[in-house]
Structure 1
């Protein structure tokens, strides 16, 4: 059961991560084109700034969920290493429950805000303003999924050795 659940989660996760990568790559290409056309032709595409902002918001929120998946959130190991291992295991579970609650918060309030902003449109692209905020409940769902998997003992880390610590020589 856990293997099947992990396989399904990894498939969805791959789509999520690939969309995040496409978002940041698209954002870089649009900004580069915007700079080139502004400097060389004194022309800017009317939609470029708005689409770049939209992609940045989406990439940032997806990065939050990926950060939780990779366990890159802030931790105070120097303090918790002084505590007994059993206490740390309980503390880790409490932290995961809090992270799950944060995911639920994003789902509930993100969806409410998305619905609220559906009536207005973005000025350049005329897309509904809610497209900017739709990523909040999606991120909340992904955070809840990652946290649930971690709570039941399924490892969610996909990329190894990406922490910021400098290796000891």
Structure 2
């Protein structure tokens, strides 16, 4: 099952790069909007919409990176007091529960995209499904990471 870990690591690396590029694009668009509005007294009609879409993509994809790194905020006072076997069992249970949520994220994300497929964004006229594609996409990435983390948790702790 080493291929699952390699897939998870590879996808995570690609997502990290993508998030970095999206963040730079968002900073550029926001900077341009400020310059045009206050320097040239002319507003870019599309900049707020693009900035909002980029922020949503950065948020969802960034969350998958944090999940892979186990960097999400957590309260583990009680968990740290458990015996190693109980801790691993609880971790597996929570990974399974997370996996169920990720499948729901994928299924309902796709369903929502189909629901709004005929709508267009206000400023640029892009299909509304484009900004929301990140929901099922991030669900797939989350699920791959969850499987990889679950397989890691099956290994006995090294001494």
TM over 0.5: yes
Match of 1:23 in 2: 22
Match of 2:67 in 1: 68
Q: How does 1:35-50 map to 2 (within 5 A)?
A: 35-50=34-49
Measure, in 2, the Cα distance between the counterparts of 1:91 and 1:28.
41
Match of 2:105 in 1: 106
Return 12-21 or 125-134, whichever deviates more: 12-21
1:123 aligns with 2:122: yes
Task: Show structure 1 runs of 5+ residues with no match.
Answer: 155-169
Normalised by the length of structure 1, the TM-score is 0.85
Alignment RMSD, CA only? 1.5
Structure with the larger RCO, 1 or 2 (CA within 8 Å, 6+ apart): 2
Task: Show structure 2 runs of 5+ residues with no match.
Answer: 154-159
Q: How does 1:52-67 map to 2 (within 5 A)?
A: 52-67=51-66
- 1:135 positional shift: 0.2
- 1:8 positional shift: 3.4
Match of 1:143 in 2: 142
Q: How does 1:76-87 map to 2 (within 5 A)?
A: 76-87=75-86
SS at match of 2:117: helix
Measure, in 1, the Cα distance between the counterparts of 2:78 and 2:4.
34
SS at match of 1:74: coil
Q: How does 1:2-21 map to 2 (within 5 A)?
A: 2=2, 4-21=3-20
What stretches of structure 1 move > 4 A for 4+ residues in a row? none
Return 69-78 or 95-104, whichever deviates more: 69-78
- 1:13 positional shift: 2.4
Match of 1:96 in 2: 95
How many pairs align? Answer: 153
Measure, in 2, the Cα distance between the counterparts of 1:5 and 1:80.
27
